[in-house]
Amino acid sequence: MDKRRIFHYVLIGVLVALLYMAFLIVKPFLTYLILGLMLTYLLHPLYLRLTRKMKSKEKASVLMVLLVLLLIILPSVFIITKLVGQSVSAYNAFKSLDLMGSDTLDNVLAPLGLSMDEMIQQVAGKVKDYFVLTAPNILGSIAEVLLGLFVMFFFMFFAFRDGEKWIKLARQSLPLEPEHRERLFARMGSITSAVMYGQFLTAVIQGSLGGLMFLAFGIPNAIFWGVIMIMFSFIPFLGTPLIWIPAAIIELVQGNYVAGIGILLVGGILVMNIDNLLRPYLIASKDKISPVLVLIGVLGGLKLFGFIGILLGPLLLALLQTVIELFKEKPKTVRKKVSA
């Protein structure tokens, strides 16, 4: 084995090691980087308009990042303020219930050797201990989210400004024929649009159903809570239940058993599961991809990548399907050239 071949293998080994180390460095921010890329892709037409008007890529990129920042911060502040207000109202309503003075409850609990007063004190103590123990984790999570958002916005500035150069470099680096490269990138764009379209439309439908459910059972501010459920629908599994389960519990505590049980039934059977039925077909309707592939991509992507897997899972499987199709076509092209 000559020295050149040894040097070649050593260089490949160093490259693989560096790629692995680079992945470990990027891994904590991978979700934010992918989300930043998705947002940059969706907002790219608006960025191009701003660039033509302002005649400066840097200024247009800064303006786009500020726009996304405002779209995230302003609704978040409003939602948190409203949630705090609703929580205070629910707490006051719960506190106003005369649970400790109820003779019926005392008569039921007395044979068991239990006291309502003692039970409430124990529950309050456990709740307090839970918040004391989890407070550092909550603060740490908030710090991680803020750092991740900072990285995302910083990355988005360069993605807006230099995104076309990155795509051009990626196209030139792929060891494929020109028409195959164009087809692969065109498919990537169409799949990304289809996935984002499917996720957004699913969230709107799921949140709207939740709002209609609240309206039907007489929950105050039903339209507002419907909008909140649209936003929360993007959170896997826990999305809308974070809103309608507490609402059902509050109704049950206040003695509104029809509304409480009704919300639990409709929310658990319809609202919570509608996304699993709609999402695959909505995404498939925008792109030539099997609904089964979309469903497996969403569920597998969630397990592998977390939240961003909802978008990344179907995208990767659809790209794999496209690459396999390209490999199937290549021998045909070769046979045509040989026969000619």
pLDDT band at 237 (very low <50, low <70, confident <90, very high): low
- In this predicted model, what pLDDT tens digit does every residue of 35-44 receive, in sequence order? 888 888 888 8
- Cβ atoms 267, 213 nearer than 8 A: yes
Q: Which of 192, 150, 137, 212 is nearest to 312 (CA)?
A: 192
What's residue 220's pLDDT?
Answer: 81
Of 205, 203, 195, 202, nearest in space to 283 by CA = 195
Question: Is the per-residue pLDDT at 119 higher than 60?
Answer: no
Retrieve residue 144's tokens.
């991680």
Find the angle CA(258)-CA(259)-CA(265) to the nearest 5 degrees.
Answer: 90
Helix axes 178-216, 241-253, angle to 10 degrees: 10
Query: Are 295 and 304 contacting, i.e. CB atoms less than 8 angstroms apart?
Result: no
Tell me the C-alpha distance between 325 and 39, whole Å: 28
Task: Name the 3-class secondary structure at 258.
Answer: helix
Is pLDDT at 100 greater than 50 in this prediction?
Answer: no
Q: Which residue has the tokens 């302002």?
A: 54
Using one digit for the tens of pLDDT, what is the confidence trace for 104-115? 555 555 565 655
Q: Could you tell me which residues come within 8 angstroms of residue 163 by beta carbon, excluding any fewer than 6 positions away?
A: 40, 44
Where residue 335 falls among pLDDT bands split at 50, 70, 90?
A: very low
Using only the alpha carbons of the chain, give its radius of gyration.
Answer: 27
Q: Residues near 60 by Cβ (< 8 Å), separated by ≥ 6?
A: 47, 50, 51, 54, 160
- Would you say 275 and 262 are in contact if contact means Cβ atoms under 8 Å apart? no
Contact between 89 and 76 under an 8 Å Cβ cutoff? The reply is: no
Give pLDDT, residue 310. 77
Provide CB contacts within 8 A for 155, sequence distance 6+: 32, 33, 36
Report the 10 Å Cβ neighbour count for 181: 17
How does residue 128 score in pLDDT terms, banded at 50, 70 and 90?
A: low
Using CA atoms, how far residue 235 sits from 31, 131, 244, 285, 339, in Å, is 13, 23, 14, 23, 55
Q: What ranges do the domains of the chain cover?
A: 176-330
User: What is the tens place of the pLDDT at every residue in 72-91?
Assistant: 776 766 666 666 665 555 55
> DSSP assignment of 221-232, as one string?
THHHHHHHHHHH
Q: What is the mean pLDDT of the chain?
A: 76
Higher pLDDT, 248 or 79: 248
Residue 324 above 50 pLDDT? yes
Question: CA-CA distances (angstroms) from residue 267 to 73, 225, 279?
Answer: 29, 13, 18
The encoded tokens of residue 257 equal 């058993």
